[in-house]
């Protein structure tokens, strides 16, 4: 839950920087550890049968931190880099596993451009968002190099490395939209006007603020239906990654930008004082505070990414596969792509999010569909770390023409959901209610960095109806809750006529509104009693492995040995070697002085990383278990401990001498946050 801000520490640190202990805690970078969440080889091998991934070779003298991709007619690409260059790329569509495109410099010296757009006719050239301005570039003499650099609109910056400028995206009215990242930390995160806003700029440079409350809005998109969305990263005030629908006057949740809401031209009525450290689900706050806009779709943290980035709508008309009209959402930290199917219910956008493709070489920040439905992914890991072997790059994803058995979409119903499939389902497994497990949860809206999933509640299956053609299943459920994410797991489903399971068996539907319409089960009058929402995850009580009391045979609470174990920024315990005598009575005080959540889990010798992986596999259920998996390899553990709090446990050291691993099992931490308890 505490993946650092997507665009953190870039300007401060060299390439390849990982979780260096010397980094101040304010710019802590947990992604550097979360990148070790290596995808399953079995899954990526299956995914590759349907969507083939091809890295494009880049000459060694080019650092292609691809930050913007414009497909140009004639199978060419224009690619911006974070180092301020723009390259022509020819040959990116060539057949074969080894593709070596030709790179020709178009422009250089720009200030971290993060997007590029061909000028709409009759204007000429290309629009590029630099940190400090929207710029029009043109090659007027036809030599392949830009020779006009025209400032369209200035965008004030204070100099914080975190003031990214995402876009431009062409609006249906011919204007451009940009989303302006907030600065990092400090007394204000919006030191310059319109930081934390989505703004619209006319071709002659007039700026119109559209919406506030953005934090790190790396993805910005207008759909073919004219609806605007931005993608957001987990962080302070942002419980998990998400996609939010934007209308003029909206407030997306991060209060920094409200500093400018009184400025002439502001469309936003909320003021900084209107936003408190609520600590409630965001959809509940939205009922009380008009203007607060809950997301259309939550992207559960560590499951569908840790730093959601560029988005595109599939407008390939089927050339990229069976998901025409849906969105693809890149993730930087986990180097993967999620898929989102939106619908509008009672005027509110909502929908399903599901895994699509992982196993890329580096973190993806930009996606673009080229000719023939080919998808290009622009990649960079500098400053944050990402899954994969490369620090930057450009990859291609091509549909092989084969269709996997997938949940194509989910639609809300007054009493449940309709799941549609890419190919017909096997009736026997589809009609069995035990094939489905559904539960709801949400995230807290508060000042702290990220949120665990809270208010988890199971949704018992009441009825299943399989369509005659086998292409959809209607599920009636109990305990649906508006505002909540509904997680549907269906690993037992099979495709018709075979044993093929779903390629991705878990989908997440953010149910902002229940639709009107026909029910397939009557309302259960007892449902209100049945579905009492649980209290926010309770503190972890005393158990055999979480011993909060000294055993009765101890003479006093001190035992034989006291250990005070702390934490340090950069995913570290403050000690990596603890020594105790075999069978000693140990009182261990775990004091978390870092600004993120951590725990202490003592494991069997050599089993620390396996326990860390098992914790990761808990998915959204992990938070309720304090990320401690049920495993014989776990000997003793503390609770997941909030910043500036502690948890004390009392245990008897193993009688067998050896080096016992201890790790923090918060997803992604174990690889770095580890030590040895030496039993002598």
What is the binding site for Cu ion (CB under 5 A)? Answer: 598, 664, 666, 669, 673
> Minimal distance in Å, beta carbon 636 to Cu ion?
17
Decide whether 4 or 375 has the Cβ nearer to Cu ion.
4
C-beta of residue 155 within 8 angstroms of C-beta of residue 178:
yes
As a whole number of Å, the end-to-end CA separation of the chain is 37
> Minimal distance in Å, beta carbon 666 to Cu ion?
4
> Minimal distance in Å, beta carbon 673 to Cu ion?
5
Decide whether 36 or 554 has the Cβ nearer to Cu ion.
36
> Minimal distance in Å, beta carbon 511 to Cu ion?
31
- State how beta strands 444-445 and 454-458 pair: unpaired
Decide whether 424 or 667 has the Cβ nearer to Cu ion.
667
Separation CA 677–CA 510 (nearest Å): 43
Decide whether 110 or 664 has the Cβ nearer to Cu ion.
664
C-beta of residue 607 within 8 angstroms of C-beta of residue 518:
no
Give, in degrees to the nearest 5, the angle at Cα 270 between 267 and 274.
Answer: 175
**Alpha carbon distances (Å) from 392 to 65, 72, 100:** 5, 22, 16
Decide whether 103 or 666 has the Cβ nearer to Cu ion.
666
Q: What's the token pair of residue 300?
A: 């559960």
In three-state secondary structure terms, 499 is coil
Decide whether 2 or 481 has the Cβ nearer to Cu ion.
2
Q: List, in sequence order, the alpha helices (H) in 397-464.
A: 427-431
Decide whether 196 or 668 has the Cβ nearer to Cu ion.
668
Decide whether 333 or 439 has the Cβ nearer to Cu ion.
333
Give, in degrees to the nearest 5, the angle at Cα 490 between 484 and 492.
Answer: 160
**Alpha carbon distances (Å) from 62 to 66, 80, 84:** 11, 12, 12
Decide whether 293 or 669 has the Cβ nearer to Cu ion.
669
DSSP lists the bridge partners of residue 116 as 128
Decide whether 146 or 664 has the Cβ nearer to Cu ion.
664
Strands (E), 273-357: 280-281, 297-299, 308-313, 327-331, 336-345, 348-357
Separation CA 423–CA 498 (nearest Å): 12
> Minimal distance in Å, beta carbon 429 to Cu ion?
39
H/E element, 678: strand 674-679
H/E element, 41: helix 41-50
Separation CA 447–CA 345 (nearest Å): 30
Decide whether 161 or 662 has the Cβ nearer to Cu ion.
662
Burial letters for 363-386: b for 16+ Cβ neighbours within 10 Å, e otherwise?
bbbbbbbbeebbbbbbbbbbbbbb
Separation CA 475–CA 411 (nearest Å): 10
H/E element, 288: helix 282-288
**Alpha carbon distances (Å) from 275 to 183, 256, 435, 519:** 19, 10, 43, 38
Decide whether 117 or 571 has the Cβ nearer to Cu ion.
571
Separation CA 25–CA 120 (nearest Å): 45
Q: What's the token pair of residue 592?
A: 């978390």
Decide whether 1 or 386 has the Cβ nearer to Cu ion.
1
- Nearest CA to 477 among 408, 537, 530? 530
Burial degree of 352 (CB within 10 A; 0-12, 13-18, 19+)? buried
Decide whether 293 or 598 has the Cβ nearer to Cu ion.
598
Q: What's the token pair of residue 155?
A: 């965008």
C-beta of residue 645 within 8 angstroms of C-beta of residue 596:
no
C-beta of residue 167 within 8 angstroms of C-beta of residue 155:
no
């Amino acid at each position: 839950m505490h993946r650092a801000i997507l665009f953190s520490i870039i300007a401060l640190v060299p390439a390849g920087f990982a979780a260096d202990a010397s980094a101040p805690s304010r710019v802590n970078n947990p992604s550097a550890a979360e990148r070790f969440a290596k995808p399953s080889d079995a899954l990526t091998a299956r995914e590759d049968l349907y969507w083939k991934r091809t890295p494009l070779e880049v000459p060694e003298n080019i650092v292609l931190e691809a930050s913007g991709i414009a497909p140009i007619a004639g199978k060419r690409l224009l690619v911006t880099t974070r180092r301020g260059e723009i390259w022509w790329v020819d040959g990116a569509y060539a057949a074969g596993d080894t593709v070596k495109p030709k790179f020709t410099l178009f422009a250089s010296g720009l200030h971290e451009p993060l997007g590029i757009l061909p000028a709409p006719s009759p204007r000429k050239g290309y629009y590029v968002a630099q940190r400090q301005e929207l710029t029009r570039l043109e090659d007027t003499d036809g030599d392949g190099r830009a020779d006009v650099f025209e400032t369209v609109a200035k965008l004030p910056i204070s100099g914080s490395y975190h003031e990214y400028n995402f876009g431009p995206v062409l609006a249906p009215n011919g204007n451009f939209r940009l989303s302006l990242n907030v600065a990092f930390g400090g007394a204000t995160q919006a030191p310059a006007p319109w930081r934390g806003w989505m703004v619209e700029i006319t071709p002659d440079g007039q700026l119109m603020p559209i919406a506030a409350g953005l934090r790190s809005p790396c993805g910005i998109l207008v759909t073919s239906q004219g609806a605007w969305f931005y993608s957001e990263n987990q962080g302070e005030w942002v419980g998990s990654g998400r996609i939010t629908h934007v209308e003029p006057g909206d407030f997306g949740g991060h209060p920094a930008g409200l500093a400018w809401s009184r400025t002439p031209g502001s469309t936003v009525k909320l003021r900084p004082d209107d936003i408190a450290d609520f600590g409630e689900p965001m959809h509940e706050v939205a009922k009380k505070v008009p203007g607060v806009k809950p997301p259309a779709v939550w992207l559960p943290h560590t499951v569908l990414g840790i730093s959601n980035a560029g988005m595109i709508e599939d407008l390939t008309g089927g050339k990229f596969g069976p998901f025409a009209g849906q969105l693809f959402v890149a993730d930087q930290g986990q180097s993967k792509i999620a898929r989102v199917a939106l619908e509008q219910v009672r005027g509110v956008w909502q929908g399903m999010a599901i895994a699509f493709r992982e196993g890329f070489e580096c973190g993806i920040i930009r996606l673009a569909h080229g000719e023939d439905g080919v998808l290009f992914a622009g990649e960079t890991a500098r400053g944050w770390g990402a899954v994969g072997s490369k620090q930057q790059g450009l990859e291609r994803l091509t549909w092989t023409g084969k269709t996997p058995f997938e949940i194509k979409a989910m639609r809300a119903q007054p009493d449940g959901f309709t799941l549609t499939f890419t190919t017909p389902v096997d009736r026997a497994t589809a009609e069995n209610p035990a094939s489905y497990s559904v539960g709801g949860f949400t995230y807290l809206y508060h000042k702290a960095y990220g949120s665990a999933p809270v208010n988890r509640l199971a949704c018992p299956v009441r009825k299943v109806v399989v369509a005659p053609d086998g292409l959809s299943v209607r599920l009636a459920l109990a305990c649906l809750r508006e505002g909540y994410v509904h997680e549907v797991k269906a690993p037992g489903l099979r495709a018709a006529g075979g044993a093929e399971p779903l390629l991705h068996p878990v989908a997440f539907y953010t149910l902002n509104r229940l639709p009107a319409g026909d029910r397939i089960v009557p309302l259960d009058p007892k449902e209100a009693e049945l579905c009492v929402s649980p209290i926010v995850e309770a503190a972890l009580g005393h158990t055999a492995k979480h011993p909060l009391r000294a055993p009765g045979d101890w003479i006093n609470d001190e035992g034989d040995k006291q250990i005070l174990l702390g934490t340090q920024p950069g995913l570290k315990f403050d000690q990596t070697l603890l020594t105790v005598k075999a069978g000693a009575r140990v009182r261990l005080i775990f004091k978390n002085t870092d600004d993120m959540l951590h725990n202490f889990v003592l494991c069997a010798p050599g089993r620390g990383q396996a326990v860390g992986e098992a914790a990761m596999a808990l998915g959204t259920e992990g938070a309720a278990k304090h990320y401690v998996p049920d495993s014989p390899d776990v000997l003793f553990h503390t609770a997941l401990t909030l910043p500036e709090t502690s948890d004390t446990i009392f245990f008897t050291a193993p009688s067998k001498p050896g080096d016992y691993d201890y790790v923090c099992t918060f997803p992604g931490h174990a690889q770095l946050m580890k030590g040895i308890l030496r039993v002598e």
